[in-house]
Structure 1
Amino acid sequence: MIKINLYIQDDGKMSKTKYELIKDFIIEGINSGKFKEGEKIYSENMLARKFKVSRHTVRRAIMELEFEGLLVSLKGRGTFVAKKSADSSKCIAVLTTFISDYIFPLIIRGIEKVIAHEGYGLLLFSTDNSYEFERYHLESIINNPNIDAVIIEPTKSALPSKNLELYKKLIQKDIPVIFINTILEEVTQNYIITKDQSAVYKLTTNLIKNGCKRLFGVFKGDDLQGIKRYRGFEKACKEANVEFDAIFFTSEEYNFVHKRAAEVISREKFDAVVCYNDKIALPLCVKLKEMGFRIPQDISVTGFDNSLLATLTDIKLTTVEHPKEKLGEMAAKATIAMIKKNKVHVSEEIECEIIYRNSTRGGIQECLKA
C-alpha cells in the first residue's frame, strides 16, 4: 500500500496544495486498483479540468510521482502506472533549458534513440532558463535513487550560477553527468559542445570578404554560447579592421530584442548583422523589411543553429549548422559508455558547418561552392 501524507495547519485543520491533492488522487487510484500497473492514467488536460488547475500544476504532481517510481511518462503516448520490474531503475535524466521547441526536440530525439536501444528510460526536465526551476529539478534529480546518469544544459551559463552548490553535489554523486551545448566554468565536468567561437568567426569573415564594412552583432549575454559567439564575431572584425558594434540581451528580452536591434541598425547604417541564433535573426529580418530594408542588398543577416526557422519564409537564412540530433546521440553514447565503465571522461567540441543562403551577399554563390 502506498502511503498518503497528511499536512496539518496550526489550527489543526488539514491543508494541502493543489498539486498534492492531485498526487493523492492518483495514489488512491493505484492503491484501489482503479489505475492498474502498466495502464494509462487520465491525461494532463483531464486532470487539469477535474481539479480546476493549470497543466503546470498537474505536471508537477506527475513529475513527483515519476521521481517516486509510481508513474512513467512516454512521449506522445501519455502517462502510465509504472511496472514493477528488475529493470525499472534503468533511467537517464535530461535537464535542458527547453524541451518542446526550437532545436531541442531533435536533441532529445538523438538521446532517446540511443538510450532506448540500450534499455534505459528517459526522464525529461526543462528549466525554462529559470534558476528557480533549475533548483527544483536539480534537487529532485539528486534525491532520486533510480537515476543512473544525467545529461544537462545549465541555465544562464555565462553568469555565476545560483545553483552551484547543487551542481557540485550532483557531480559528486556516483553517476555520470555530462553537459551539452555549454558548460559551467566553476566546476570540472564532462561535456559535448559545439565550437561556437570558430563558427561565428568563419561566418563573420565571409561577410567581410563579400563586401560588408560595418557589422553589427546581437548576442545573448547570459549564456556562455552567446559570449563565445561574440568573441568569434569580434575577432574577425578586428583582424579585418572593419567597423563593428554589438548589443547583448538576456533571456527575459528574447521576444523583443529584434526591435531594439532594428532601431540601432536603421540609425547607424550597418550593412551586416550577425545574430545569436535563428530565433533572433528571422524576426529581425521581418522587422527590417517592414522598415524598408532590402535583404541582402541593403543588409546581410545571419543566424545560428540551422533550425526550421531558417527556411520558414522567402528569406532563407545563412546560418551555422548545429548538430542537434547528432549531439544528442553523442551525449547518450558517451553516457552509456560511462555507465558501463568503458569511458571515464568526455570532453568533445564539434566543428560546425556554415550553411549559405540568400540572406547574405554572395550567399547563393557560397552555397554552390560548398
Structure 2
Amino acid sequence: MIKINLYGQDDDKMSKSKYEIIKDFIIEGISSGKFKEGEKIYSENMLSRKFKVSRHTVRRAIMELEFEGLLVSQKGKGTFVAKKTADSSKCIAVLTTFISDYIFPLIIRGIEKVIAHEGYGLLLFSTDNSYEFERYHLESIINNPNIDAVIIEPTKSALPSKNQELYKKLIQKDIPIIFINTILEGIAQNYIITKDQEAVYRLTCSLIKSGCKKLLGIFKGDDLQGIKRYNGFEKASREAQAEFDAIFFTSEEYNFVHNRAAEVISREKFDAAVCYNDKIALPLCVKLKEMGFRIPQDISVTGYDNSLLSTLTDIKLTTVEHPKEKLGEMAAKTAVAMIKKSRSGVKAEIECEIIFRNSTKGGF
C-alpha cells in the first residue's frame, strides 16, 4: 500500500477546505460503521458530484486518508476501508524533493516494486525543495514509531542544512537511512548517487572534441549535484584550455534561468551550453530557437538525466543517462537488507552513460 503526503502543509493551522470536509465525511462514515473495514467506499465520481468539487480535490482527500492508514486504493477496483493486519506497521518512508514529475516517478516505481514484493508499505513525502516542508516531514517521520527505514533526498544539499538537528535525531533512531541522488556532507552515512562530476567531465570533453571552443555551464548552485557537475565541466574545460564561464542558479530561479542563459549566450557568443539537467536544457533550446539560433549548427546544448523531456521536441537532447528505476531498486533493496540485518550499509556511486543526440554537433 502506498501512502502519500504531497502537500507539506500543516492543515490544522488552516481553515476547513473542501478536501478536509470530504475527509471528515469519510472518517465519520468509518467511525459510525457506515463504511465497514474492508468494504468499498463511494467512488471518486460519486464524491465529486456529492460535494460539487473536482476529482482532484476528492483524490487529495483520499490520498491523505491513505497516508493516515484509513483507506486503501486498488487499481481498477476502487477505494476500500483499510483492514487492520499484523503487518500494517511494516513501512519504509521515502522523502524526496519532488514526487510527481520529472525523473521522480521512475525512482519511486523502482522503490515500490521492491518493497511491495517484500511486504512493506510505502510512505511518500515531498519537500518541494523547501526547508520548511522538509522540517515538517522529518518531524513526522521521527515521531512515527512504525517506520522501519527511510530513503531520503535532502533539500538544498550544497548548503549547510537548516534541519541538521532533525537529521541527527533521525539517525539516533537507529533505523536504516539511505540518501539518494545527493548527500549531506558530514551526515550521510549510507548513500546511492550518480557519478555527477565524472559524467559531466566526459560530456564536456566530447563537446570540445567536436569543435566547441567557448562553453557556458548552467548549474544549480544550492545542491551538491550542481556543484559536482560544475566541477566536471570546469576540469574538462581547463584541461583543454577552452574558454568557459558558468551561471549558477537557485531553486527559486529554476523556471526562468534559461532566459538569462540565452541572453548571455547571445551576447557573449558561446558555442556550447552544458546544462544542469534536461529541465533546463529543453526550455533553453526553445528560447534559443526563438532568438534565431540553429541547434546544433550555431550552438550545442546538453542536458542530464535522460528524462522524457529529452526527446519531447524535434530537438533531441544529448544527455546523461540517470539510472532512475535502478537507483530506486538499489535503495529499496539496501533498506530491506539493512532492516533484516543482512547488510550493514551502502556507499555506491553509479557510472552513467552519455546519450548522444541531435542537440550537439560532431556527427554523434
TM-score, length of structure 2 as denominator length: 0.88
Residue number in structure 2 paired with 1:8: none
Check the 8 A contact 1:68/1:144 in 2, yes or no.
no
User: Distance in 2 between the 1:76 and 1:124 partners?
Assistant: 22
- Mean CA deviation greater in 23-32 or 190-199: 23-32
Q: Deviations over 1:237-287 (max 9, x none)?
A: 111111100111111111111011000000000000000000110110111
Residue number in structure 2 paired with 1:229: 229
Residue number in structure 1 paired with 2:6: none
User: Distance in 2 between the 1:74 and 1:247 partners?
Assistant: 46
User: Displacement, 1:72?
Assistant: 3.9
Residue number in structure 1 paired with 2:281: 281
User: Distance in 1 between the 2:278 and 2:266 partners?
Assistant: 20
Amino acid at match of 2:213: K
Residue number in structure 2 paired with 1:50: 51
Check the 8 A contact 1:318/1:363 in 2, yes or no.
no
Check the 8 A contact 2:196/2:225 in 1, yes or no.
yes
| C-alpha distance 61-77 of structure 1, shift in aligned 2 (>3 A) | closer
User: Distance in 2 between the 1:78 and 1:277 partners?
Assistant: 37
Amino acid at match of 2:301: V
User: Distance in 2 between the 1:57 and 1:137 partners?
Assistant: 23
User: Distance in 2 between the 1:176 and 1:125 partners?
Assistant: 17
Counterpart check, 1:102 vs 2:102: yes
Identical-pair percentage: 83
- Mean CA deviation greater in 23-32 or 171-180: 23-32
Residue number in structure 2 paired with 1:192: 192
Residue number in structure 2 paired with 1:166: 166
User: Displacement, 1:168?
Assistant: 1.1
Describe the SS at the equivalent of 1:99: coil
Residue number in structure 1 paired with 2:241: 241
- Structure 1: gaps spanning 5 or more residues: 1-14, 365-370
Counterpart check, 1:123 vs 2:91: no
User: Displacement, 1:56?
Assistant: 7.7
* Count of matched residue positions in the alignment of Structure 1 and Structure 2: 349
Amino acid at match of 1:305: D
| C-alpha distance 225-297 of structure 1, shift in aligned 2 (>3 A) | same
Check the 8 A contact 1:295/1:301 in 2, yes or no.
yes
Amino acid at match of 1:87: D
Check the 8 A contact 1:125/1:137 in 2, yes or no.
yes
Check the 8 A contact 1:272/1:300 in 2, yes or no.
yes
User: Displacement, 1:363?
Assistant: 4.7
Amino acid at match of 1:354: I
Amino acid at match of 1:257: V
User: Displacement, 1:122?
Assistant: 1.1
Check the 8 A contact 2:179/2:188 in 1, yes or no.
no
| C-alpha distance 57-79 of structure 1, shift in aligned 2 (>3 A) | closer
| C-alpha distance 136-39 of structure 1, shift in aligned 2 (>3 A) | farther
Check the 8 A contact 1:23/1:62 in 2, yes or no.
no
| C-alpha distance 312-53 of structure 1, shift in aligned 2 (>3 A) | closer
User: Distance in 1 between the 2:121 and 2:140 partners?
Assistant: 17
User: Distance in 2 between the 1:244 and 1:203 partners?
Assistant: 14
Q: RMSD value over aligned CA atoms?
A: 2.5
User: Distance in 1 between the 2:14 and 2:322 partners?
Assistant: 45
User: Distance in 2 between the 1:77 and 1:221 partners?
Assistant: 45
- Structure 2: gaps spanning 5 or more residues: 1-12
Counterpart check, 1:175 vs 2:180: no
Residue number in structure 2 paired with 1:253: 253
Amino acid at match of 1:50: F
